[in-house]
Structure 1
Amino acid sequence: MLLSFSSEFRPAGLLLLALTLAACGGSGNDHDDVGGGDGGPGGEVPDGTTLLIDTDNAAAVLVHARLALEILPRLQRNANILVSQGLNGTPTCDNPDGVFQLTEDDQGAPAEAVFEDCVDPLYPSRAFDGRIVFDFTDPNRPYSAFSNYRNRINSSSSFSQEWSLSGGFSIRPEDAGNAFGNAVIADANVISNYTLSTDHGSVMVGYRFQDFEVLFDSTISNLSQPLPTLAGGGRLFLFNDAAEGWVRVSTPHRLTDPLPGNGFCYGNGELVVDGAASSRVQLDYSGADLMISVNGVTVISGECEALLESLMAQAGLAI
């Protein structure tokens, strides 16, 4: 019943966040108590947005919204690997002091997984902490509730990452003959934080997902490759030095034809982020190029890969 993914995602180069997203849809109405709180940072805004998008913050809003599309699928994927190993009876922690406890229901499906500093035996740079409760009441929409969950990656003594996740979401598995793939549908309160640390300092980015859906094609051989197809949207709270507030994310045209060599650029697709007072930033992929417009005016255009360093810097992610 778990999604099947393979291999490790290994970071490389300057664009660390774009290339190191470490981690499936349906109704979350039965699980709205997971994640805590009514709303989120900045208070509850039932149908609105609070972040005014302008030329100063547009790049940050766009980059973080683009990366947000991948967070939940990637984190779920990484947890699935360890849980699958536990179900198969293979070693689950590479370190003797690490803890991995897996409880199964009477059907043999996972019910609860508990991690305490559990180093992944397949990829020793990665370790897990936290608790996941699984609900397979509807086998077509398995549900995962994460609490105090952390996925740490220490690629070297001078470079580390940590993803945290609190809240629940369900997964709609791929339908037969549907090349679009899986869907992640998040509950009203799903919070994820990302912290990147290097010798030059650290940066933290926070996200809160509300009624957020991600559609993705998971037919990838390893996570150093981008997802072949990616789309989705919903309400998203961004929390970082470059942009903070509620926005709405949508993909009027799904992202397809990922470009080789990085995890951010696609050959086709459209991503739109709507902010307060009808403000908007839009990203259009076309071949190797991208175009960014703010409130209908083109502000950036050119080769996607060549523009990434500048975009990441404007998003506060170059350290």
Structure 2
Amino acid sequence: MITIADKGPIDVSTLREAIDDLDPAVADSLSQLPTVRALATQAEEGALDSETVEATVTAIPELLRNDRSSVHRIAAISGVVLADTDPEVADEALARLLPMLEETVTERRAMEAIEYLSTAAPDAVAEHHAVAMERLDHPRDGVARQAAGTLLAVATDAPERLVDAVPELLAALTDEFKSTADRPRAVQGRNLTDLEHHSRVEHESSRLIVARTIAAITESRPEAVADTVLDSDTSEVLIALFGDQHSRVRAAATGVASHVAERDPAAIEPAIPQLTELLDDEKSVVRGNVIWTLAALDHPRAREELRAARENDPSDELRELAASVGPDSESKSA
């Protein structure tokens, strides 16, 4: 699933294009458009005056209250351009956006604007990452995915800010899909089967983004993540994710497990049967993580499975890895 963090640079040219794409009647009705155009002009020059900064910070929530999604996008992009040109202004923009999360009408729009802003000001958004964490299981379509995208952007550029959130992120991956039939929502004029399918896609998309977030944090801060999982007693939750239907979730879980096993092998040893099954996983990244995890376990079956991987894994690279970290390797016998 593509998120804001995956897209190309969101910059002044993006803002110009969004303005040009507006329906002329809509453009004529927007009293904030001169402010946005002034923002674009000054950002191109590399400096914003205080009047434009203040006017833009005020305009963003006003634009988000408009009924059109094209206008909401301009508001979100304006926040990015503002923060790119003057990073200190991100806090001011967030101060206007955060209260909008408490309003039903503007919650999704504000969460999207914060997701955009997180790509330009991850540190500022990280200070308020709890608002995204709270919405990872949000029943309204779009909100959970935007919250996950916000966390991914922070994890990509400021992973250390989310280390303590890893146990909660792992727990979020275990949340089951809630059928639309169980949610109080307006369905008038909508096909319930299509609505159910769309909601399920949204749920799974959010989970995959969360898995990517965990992987990004772990790659940057492996030891800290392992310690956080152990301190929070989240190993059982981690192990439960080994059997997830999505390879990205399995990869994230086994990646964390490989570092947890290095810190405390006993926490992962009960999962040796599951790890053994994953040596036949279709994804090489999962099998590689499993090999590293088994190598950290001082257990007879783990050693046996490493020997099997050394002989049978379909990847030359992973066979070599199993040989280099297995019980018969030169590094182990030295």
TM-score, normalization: structure 1? 0.32
Higher strand share: 1
Higher helix share: 2
Instruction: Indicate the structure whose relative CO is greater, using CA pairs within 8 Å and at least 6 residues apart.
Output: 1
